[in-house]
């Protein structure tokens, strides 16, 4: 996705982040989508569905001039891996769980 490479989060920081995994193929090859809720845009896609996807997102977000403190709320499912990754990499963000 070309637009992912052009991002500059110093101009439009993410406040509310939605995180969800999907299976790309029937043999359960997962990717995790990180979505800017206010803009309704996918801002990052990571392989897998574990805690390290949050580290990958955070590294890319900072590389694109965002700050950890920008993200106030993270919406996600109740996956233990997601909770762990969110708490480790965005400790001040409020976690909101969907079903």
CATH for 42: 3.30.420.10
pLDDT of residue 24: 77
Per-residue confidence band for 9, with pLDDT thresholds at 50, 70 and 90: very high
- Provide the domain limits for residue 53: 2-97
Which is nearest to 49 in space by CA: 16, 82, 75? 82
Cα separation of 54 and 56, whole Å?
Answer: 5
pLDDT of residue 43: 95
pLDDT of residue 2: 52
pLDDT of residue 84: 97
pLDDT of residue 98: 86
Distances (CA, A) of 11 to 3, 64, 66: 15, 10, 9
Scan for tokens 């800017």, then name that residue.
36
Above 90 in pLDDT, residue 32? yes
Which is nearest to 33 in space by CA: 12, 53, 47, 19? 19
Domain count, the chain: 1
Cα separation of 31 and 9, whole Å?
Answer: 22
């Amino acid at each position: 996705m070309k637009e992912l490479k052009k991002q500059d989060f110093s101009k439009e920081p993410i406040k509310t982040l939605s995180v969800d995994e999907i299976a790309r193929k029937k043999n359960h090859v997962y990717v995790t989508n990180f979505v800017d809720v206010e803009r309704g845009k996918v801002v990052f896609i990571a392989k897998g569905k574990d805690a390290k996807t949050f580290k990958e997102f955070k590294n890319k977000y900072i590389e694109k001039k965002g700050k950890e403190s920008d993200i106030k709320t993270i919406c996600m499912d109740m996956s233990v891996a997601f909770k762990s990754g969110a708490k480790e990499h965005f400790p001040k963000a409020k976690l909101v769980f969907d079903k």
